[in-house]
Amino acid sequence: ITRARRRLYLTTASQRTIFARTVQLASSQFLHDVPGELLDLVALEGHRAHSLAARVRRAAGRESA
């Protein structure tokens, strides 16, 4: 992250299979430290990325208020 100059691509999985069980995963909390206007979140399936973007932007609004 510290060497990114213009763009940085981060990926995450919303679920994983561990020992034949599907486990839902939470996004990294460090994403809440990134200003919402710098994020362009894309979900390949469903609406998870959109809900994360909304949470990050709400948190950024609370900090600046």
Domain boundaries, the chain: 15-64
**Which of 6 and 62 is assigned the larger pLDDT?**
6
Output the DSSP codes for 5-64.
Answer: SS-------SEEEETTEEEE-PPPGGGGGS-GGG-----SSTTHHHHHHHHHHHHHHHHH
Taking a C-beta distance cutoff of 8 angstroms, is the pair 51, 59 a contact? no
Q: What would the pLDDT profile of 14-65 be if each residue is shown by its tens digit?
A: 778 889 888 888 877 887 788 878 877 776 665 555 566 666 677 776 655 4
Residue 19's pLDDT is what? 92
Tell if the pTM clears 0.85, that is, is over it.
no
Q: For position 24, what pLDDT does the model report?
A: 84
